[in-house]
Amino acid sequence: MKYIVVLADGMADYPCPELGGKTPLAYAQTPQMDGLAARGTVGLVRTVPEGLPPGSDVANLSVLGYDPRECYTGRAPLEAASMGVGLKPEDVAFRCNLVTLAGDGPYAARVMVDYSAGEISSAEARELITAVQERLGNETIAFYPGVSYRHLMVWRGGP
């Protein structure tokens, strides 16, 4: 038998006063999801083992049949694979996010106010990451443009 797994990633949220005390999901009109739930099998599963960070990267490994306690290496290697960036066993991949900081003072005194760099476009982000690669990249460190604020840095040969 073949199955389709619909993973509602990122749908958990807190109730909002602006939505009458409901969560965004409880407030939303969801006829397609309601139809899937009515026709399919709905259940709960623990996809994140105790002691691991509760993120979609860990959960998706579990859903795909891998034990994240044995093979979890962080989000960056998955990002590298999705971008077509090959990694050798000795390479270390890092997510390289563009963000927005408030203030004009010293870096240590600034505060991150937006995790997505103002929802930066992929085209603008590509220009920035390309400039970072030109100035900081070398035979050991390489920066790769991704989508919107999400990018990749690879340390060839690792520490």
Q: Report residue 135: phi and psi, to 5°.
A: -90, -35
Beta strands in 29-158 (DSSP E): 92-97, 100-102, 111-114, 141-147, 150-155
Residue whose tokens read 């270390």: 92
* pLDDT tens-digit readout, 119-129: 999 999 999 99
Task: Over range 99-109, report the average pLDDT.
Answer: 91
- Give me the helix-helix angle, 75-83 and 56-63, nearest 10°: 70
Is the distance from CB of 16 to CB of 24 less than 8 angstroms? yes
Instruction: Work out the pLDDT band at 12, boundaries 50, 70, 90.
Output: confident
d(CA 151, CA 69): 25
| Nearest to 151, CA basis, from 101, 106, 124 | 124
* pLDDT tens-digit readout, 19-48: 999 999 999 999 998 998 899 887 788 889
* pLDDT tens-digit readout, 52-71: 988 888 988 898 889 999 98
Is the distance from CB of 84 to CB of 145 less than 8 angstroms? no
